[in-house]
Amino acid sequence: MIYPYMTLADATEIVYTNVFEEAGVQKVEVHFERPTDKGFETARCKLPEYEWIIRDGFSDDEIKFFEEFLHNNAHLFYKYGASGGMNIA
């Protein structure tokens, strides 16, 4: 499953997956996507390695911002990814 996390001021949507296991390590993927006139800019990062699986359209400065964002929010992606998403009233 993929769950919504937040939308940034520039319309970048941030979503994340369930926690899953790969080679004995619990992981989460976080997706960043922003609409453009021609489609979408997309970036996808796998935690806990902070490995960028996809980087298409976002600048190096934006990726740097996303990396800092991920470091500050990783614990929440794991918490909510393990429990089936955030409960939003």
Which pTM does this prediction carry?
A: 0.91
Q: Reduced to 3 states, what is the DSSP secondary structure of residue 6? A: strand
Give the CA dihedral 81, 16, 7, 60, nearest 10 degrees: 130
28-50 confidence digits (pLDDT tens): 999 999 999 999 999 999 999 99
**Region for 88 from its dihedrals, namely left if φ exceeds 0, alpha if ψ lies in -120 to 50, beta otherwise:** beta
- Computed from CA positions of residues 50, 36, 1, 15, in that sequence, does the dihedral angle turn out positive or negative? positive
- Residue carrying the six token digits 């489609």: 39
1-30 confidence digits (pLDDT tens): 999 999 999 999 999 999 999 999 999 999
- Residue carrying the six token digits 């997956």: 17
- Residue carrying the six token digits 């800019």: 41
53-67 confidence digits (pLDDT tens): 999 999 999 999 999
